[in-house]
Structure 1
Amino acid sequence: MTPLEEFMKKSERINQELFYLNDKTEFNLKDLMHAFNISKSTALRDIAELESLGVPIYATNGRYGSYHIIQESLLPPVYFNEKEIFAIFFSLQLLKSTSNSPFGHTYQQINNKLLNTFSKEKQKLITQTMDVVQYNSLLHTEYIDHLDTLFENILKQQVITFNYSRGETRERTILPVKLVTRNGYWYCLGFDIHKQAYRTFRCDFISQIKINDNHQINLSQEEINEGLLQQQNDYRFLDFKVEVTKDARTFYQQNNYPNISFEQNDESYFLTGFINPNEISFLANYLLGFGTDIISISPNELHDAYKILIEKLQHKLIKMNEKRG
């Protein structure tokens, strides 16, 4: 290892030790040795280095001696370069350009707070720069006034009961676990108490949300992710493979779903994934969006559903032409 590499390794370790000690009031030498896999002599040198950086460490001697840290933040202020500053404001601009979000109308408030931390000259530069990049093609839906409520329910792991109006209105009771936005719509993923399975609900069909204290469920994020993955694997067991042209990538990138992948094999391109047999009609409709970029479709069930849709469109076109004639 060169002297420069050794210095860089030490600097990175010292930074990590700052994060490690930031929320501690006491530690001993073995804690540091074990956490960073370093020798006793290296740990002693690192403590001396931390003290030289201004970390308020003092030692107590004796058989049960240890190191103590005076209660104050060890982390230095965070500084951003110009590109990072612009990235933050562009991210806020993107938040503003959506129809709504789980965070309420906080965009302008955050924007003003951040902007006021800079000099007048820098504020002018940031404001002018915001006109350079604009988001004009995002899909918007009707405003949903309960996204922030659902977000709070998720954070607090609160079981909720609500009316769900899709076709007919039904009362549903779930533990909400995720909010997802796709193609201009917000969806809430939740564990359905009565079905004992995860379900997806479109948020604009949800109304009259009430906290349900009759049910208590405590799930870690790992348990939630494992449950969602397991259910998806059990539910979607029919694999499909659709050969497409290279140009199909553009439509896929603009309209993709978690269970559909775009793959390249030599000079061939494919849409692949797994679906439930009940989703064949949905997938066939989705494939229509690729137009003439579709080359072949399997399995036969999906091919037949796609063919039926094409025939229906041809029949409608004939009817339209007859009316025009």
Structure 2
Amino acid sequence: MLKSQRLIQLIMIINAKKSFTVPEIAKEFGLSTRTITRDLEELSALGVPIYSVQGRGGGYRLLRERMLPPIAFSESEAVAIFFACQSLKYFGSLPFDAGAAAVLHKFYHYLPTDVQAQIDRLRDKVAIWSPERAMSAPALQALMQAVMVRSAVTIAYQSGDRVTTRDIQPIGLYASHGFWYCPAYCFQREGYRLFRGDRILSASLNPSIAFLEEVDKRTVKDWNEPELRQMDHTGLAVRLTSVGSRTLETNGWFKDALERHPGGGASIRMQVPAEKLRFYADMIWELGAEAQIIEPAEAVDYIKRKVEKMRELYS
């Protein structure tokens, strides 16, 4: 076996064992303890986080996270990953600590110089903008860790001028307009709720709470579908200009109901939960004169009241 192959296999064994002794690894490879010791020293110098444990029952242990064996990427794949990570820098907080920055550094450092030069030319030419919102990075990290290790979480959540303590089981995380959102099952409310990341002041794993398998089956795409189906619905009809149509074509709440008209403009006809009507109306309100709600009357009246308040404000 080539030395490079042996080192890769050694990384995989370390990942699986986490703690081991030199004699047992030497026996597994059929090599001397001296050779394995040199290999471990070389892996340590390359950045594999292993350390020796002295005394009875000593040996070696993995210090932090497990290390993945080397993976070969083509130049185009490396550039794609580089810009995927680069796009995350516009978020105020991320749920994976400094991992994205470390990936960027490694990819850039080991790319050929000509590919580095191409990336350098594109750094300020390609961007995926996202409004930067202030959020607790440790809280986001705890929520993501909870999903990975199947654990409940205790959070401090700010709603209005009140801060409450909640025990939740996160379903996942998603980002929209710069905000992170966490759909979860709330043990206090005994139901599913959507928590906004910037309002979660702190979060910590709480393994004392039993993990619910039925909650884990839901995803960020369908986390509240069963509850929505049971709600009373009402029809929402909207007329859009061509500008309004282009604005809503990337909005996940409306894009599937968008019906474009010849010559520009579009219309929307869809069923929405009656108790969520103001939520949908507020999104249409943001389009200003580029959109007009036709029905239901409750939504039209709601928009008229908002218009009147604006008129009073500027009169």
Aligned partners of 2:232 and 2:196: how far apart in 1?
20
Over 3 Å counting, the alpha-carbon distance change for 1:180 and 1:309 in structure 2 is same
CA deviation digits over 1:153-204, x for unaligned, max 9? 1111211222211122222111011112111211111011233321001122
- How far residue 302 of structure 1 moved from its aligned partner, in angstroms, is 0.9
What is residue 190 of structure 1 aligned with on the other side? 184
In structure 2, stretches of 5+ residues that fail to align are 1-69
- In 2, Cα distance between the equivalents of 1:260 and 1:149? 32
Query: CA 1:266–1:285 in 2, change beyond 3 Å: closer, same or farther?
Result: closer
Partner of 1:219: 213
CA RMSD across the alignment: 2.7
The equivalent position to 2:108 in structure 1, one of 110, 115, 128, is 115
Bigger relative CO (Cα 8 Å, ≥ 6 apart): 2
Equivalent residues in 2 for 1:78-97 (5 A)?
78-82=72-76, 84-97=77-90
Runs of 4+, deviation exceeding 6 Å: none
CA distance in 2, matches of 1:111, 1:301: 50
Q: TM-score, normalised by structure 1?
A: 0.65
Give the total of aligned pairs: 240
1:311 to 304, 308, 312: 308
1:91 Cα deviation from its structure 2 partner: 1.1
SS of aligned partner of 1:128 = helix
Deviations 1:268-309 (A, max 9, x none): 612344433333333333222222222442111111111221
Partner of 1:292: 289
Give the CA deviation at 1:220.
Answer: 6.7
Larger Rg: 1
- CA distance in 1 between counterparts of 2:111 and 2:252 reads 41
1:259-298 equivalent positions in 2, closer than 5 A:
261-264=256-259, 266-267=261-262, 269-298=266-295
Shift of 1:98: 1.9
Distance 1:119 1:236 in 2: 59
Letter in 1 for 2:164: R
Residues 25-44 of structure 1 aligned to structure 2 (within 5 Å): none
Inter-CA distance 221–191: structure 2 relative to 1 (3 Å threshold): closer
Q: Distance in 2 between matches of 1:88 and 1:100?
A: 19
Counting only pairs closer than 5 Å after superposition, residues 1-325 of structure 1 correspond to structure 2 as 78-82=72-76, 84-135=77-128, 137-145=129-137, 146-167=139-160, 168-219=162-213, 223-225=217-219, 228-235=224-231, 237-253=233-249, 256-258=251-253, 261-264=256-259, 266-267=261-262, 269-318=266-315
Local SS of the residue matching 1:178: coil
Is contact 2:258-2:266 (8 Å) kept?
yes
Question: How far apart in 1 are the matches of 2:226 and 2:202?
Answer: 31
Query: 2: distance between equivalents of 1:97 and 1:208?
Result: 22
Instruction: Give the Cα separation in 2 of the matches to 1:222 and 1:175.
Output: 8
TM-score by length of 2: 0.67
Instruction: Give the unaligned 5+ runs of structure 1.
Output: 1-75, 319-325
